[in-house]
Chains A and B, each alone.
Chain A
């Protein structure tokens, strides 16, 4: 058990470019969550999966955002046509029955 792994740790991109982040959850965990955190705020829920099914999406998740978990294991979060307001820490978490375990996040900076 190596915990929740997120890649890359940091990403700098130009406005308008597409970016994709990857999350590898704890292997036996069936639930996987994506959150976004900006400076001085708590994490905000974006979406979550149970196995490969995406069960809930926040209104924060605009049409430019898409998440997948095709085989019920790792997940990707893609942001298309990035905007400066997308700059944030993107956190992934996983759980089985108990509390969510978070990864260290991907810090996105849009310039």
Chain B
């Protein structure tokens, strides 16, 4: 069973469209994240949810809206897609977010969603 699964794996869409990426984890983790990996492979956090509550919201355009219906799911909806949104989006989850030195700190990543806006 895949621990953190994202759908779709690839997404090609036109500018101006609205799209969603879904993420599900079956690890029982309380915290989920969205990261963006740009064309230079730089990974940057976008959002973090803990038990359906938003706890990290980095400087991200309002066109990006995360939604967490339950702690096992964190979806990312993007409105009015722009060319610069093209990237790989990674979902991740973690069991312990409060103790960086603890044994359960650290992420389990999904396989990524490659979004191409044309």
Bind each other? no
A residues contacting B by CB (< 8 A) are: none
